[in-house]
Amino acid sequence: MANPTDNPSDIFRVRLNCHYQAAPTTLDPPLWDSSVSSTQPSSLPHLPVVRVFGATETGQKVCAHIHGALPYLYIPYTESLDKGDVARYTSTLRHSIDHALALSYRRKSYDSNPRNTTFVAHISLVKGVPFFGYNIGYRHYLKIYLLNPLHMTKFADLLQQGAVMKRVFQPYEAPDLLPFVGVRT
- Tens digit of each residue's pLDDT (9 = 90 or more) over 74-92: 999 999 999 999 999 999 9
Asked if residue 133 is part of any domain, the answer here is: yes
Whether 61 and 120 share a structural domain: no
172 within some domain: no
Same domain, yes or no, for 77 and 44? Answer: no
Are residues 156 and 80 part of one domain? yes
Q: Which of 7-11, 19-23, 141-145, 177-181 has the lowest mean pLDDT?
A: 177-181
In a domain, 171, yes or no: no
Alpha-carbon distance of 28 to 36, in angstroms, equals: 15
Give residue-wise pLDDT tens across range 93-135.
999 999 999 999 988 777 777 777 899 999 999 998 887 778 7
Output 39 or 97, whichever has higher pLDDT: 97
Are both 101 and 47 inside the same structural domain? no
> Does residue 178 fall inside a structural domain?
no
Q: Is residue 137 part of a domain?
A: yes
User: Residue 8: its pLDDT value, please?
Assistant: 53
Residue, of 54 and 42, whose pLDDT is higher:
54
Residue 166 CB burial class (10 angstroms; 0-12, 13-18, ≥19):
exposed
Task: Please give the helix or strand (H or E) that residue 78 lies within, else none.
Answer: none
Distance (Å, rounded) from C-alpha 110 to C-alpha 123?
A: 21
Measured CA to CA, the distance from residue 13 to residue 62 in angstroms comes to 9
Q: Is residue 176 part of a domain?
A: no
Residue 54 falls inside a structural domain: yes
Residue scoring higher pLDDT (19 or 121): 121
Q: How confident is the model at residue 25 (pLDDT cuts 50, 70, 90)?
A: confident
In this structure, are 85 and 153 located in the same domain?
yes
Model pLDDT for residues 141-177, shown as the tens digit of each residue? 999 999 999 999 999 999 999 999 999 999 988 665 5
Structural domain boundaries enclosing 62: 4-67
Domain count, the chain: 2
